[in-house]
Amino acid sequence: MRTINDSARAFIDLAKLGRTSLWAIALTLLLISFINTISAFGILAFSPADVQSAFYRKLSVINLLESLFTGAAGIGGIAGFWLACRFILRRPYVSIVSAGLKFSVPRVLLGMALFLPALVVSVIASSVYFWVRFGTWQPPLGGFNSNPHVFGFGPILSLFAGPVAIGVFAFGEEQFFRGWLTQTLGQFIRVPAVVVTVVAVSFAIYHTQYDLPVKAAVFFHSIGFSVLSLRDQRLELALGAHTMLNTCVALLIPTFFVSAHPHVNLPNAIYMSHTILILDIIVFALIRGALPFALMYWFLQKTNGWFEPKPATEVADVQPA
């Protein structure tokens, strides 16, 4: 049976199915930047004048670089990587996703199904910690206070467009961070643990909407996604877990991240009304960020549920497109 390091190197070296030069990397990023720029200005052309004016006032080199970073993990990145794989990298697009060179919907669903109970355990565990530490009870599931406009589509369309949007955005992030970025960095950094750490830092920085305690949890989320994808040699389990996590965050925003009810809202209210130690942030991040993935990993180890590619799908046996 493969070790996680063997599986990690096998997945990372899928990049060798195509071009891995710095020139190819630069052209890929330029292509994605071009697609995102065209899309942004296309949307801007049909926007109100005040929106256009505000956009141009804030336009700067830093904003453009930030847009390149965030856009690579968005919808523009999905289209960009497909085109890059076909015309620049010269490798099968699905090699970013799977060592089996096929996308598996059942494994996405498996990732969702395994992550939900693991997340419930972590939420209950963090609630116990806050009770012991601060004497203030956090509802174990945060209270199912759904926001009907959370997806931006309105109450009716959210029922249909929301889940699709969550899945697409999760796929874009997994494709970029755990797929292309991991495989690309792995060609220059030959220690998978270092690659995973760099990707995790980038993933936490990417989520600019969160403060430090939540970013710490996001850092461990990324490590969890990376461990799943590298051990499984494909992104579907991580994608399923990511989709389920985003779904829960979207549905539970009023109690997890918004200070609408300061007397019950945790962890934000706790951070404002109590002295928070670095240790508290680390424990919170480990419970909320690492524990669900540790439980998933344990279950997959016990049930031998990891994907094992056939010899025909090994890098040495597959020619670039």
Residues contacting residue 119 through CB under 8 Å, at least 6 positions apart: 244, 245, 248, 292
Q: How confident is the model at residue 96 (pLDDT cuts 50, 70, 90)?
A: very high
Please give the Cα distance from 289 to 297 (Å, whole number). Answer: 14
pLDDT given for residue 214 in this prediction: 81
Over residues 255-286, the pLDDT tens digits come to: 343 333 333 334 444 444 456 677 878 888 89
Residue 25 has pLDDT above 60, yes or no: yes
Over residues 206-227, the pLDDT tens digits come to: 888 777 878 888 999 999 999 9
Share of the chain above pLDDT 70, in %: 73
The torsion angle over the Cα atoms of residues 230, 235, 238 and 240, rounded to 10 degrees, is -160
CA nearest to 303, candidates 160, 19, 113, 174: 113
Please give the Cα distance from 227 to 101 (Å, whole number). Answer: 19
pLDDT given for residue 255 in this prediction: 38
Residue 123 has pLDDT above 70, yes or no: yes
Give the range among 45-54, 116-125, 268-277 with minimum mean pLDDT. 268-277
pLDDT given for residue 231 in this prediction: 94
Neighbours of 23 (CB within 10 A): 9
pLDDT given for residue 196 in this prediction: 97
Does residue 191 or residue 138 have the better pLDDT? 191
pLDDT given for residue 309 in this prediction: 73
pLDDT, averaged across the chain: 79
Both tokens of residue 229? 């994808």
Residue 321 has pLDDT above 60, yes or no: no
Does residue 173 or residue 58 have the better pLDDT? 173
Does residue 295 or residue 148 have the better pLDDT? 295
Residue 129 has pLDDT above 90, yes or no: no
pLDDT given for residue 152 in this prediction: 47
Q: How confident is the model at residue 145 (pLDDT cuts 50, 70, 90)?
A: very low
Q: Long-range pairs for 206-215 at CB < 8 Å and ≥24 separation?
A: 206/69, 206/70, 206/73, 206/173, 206/177, 210/257, 211/271, 212/281, 213/267, 213/271, 213/276, 213/281, 213/284, 213/285, 214/257, 214/267
pLDDT given for residue 31 in this prediction: 93
With beta carbons less than 8 A apart as the criterion, state whether 210 and 77 touch: no
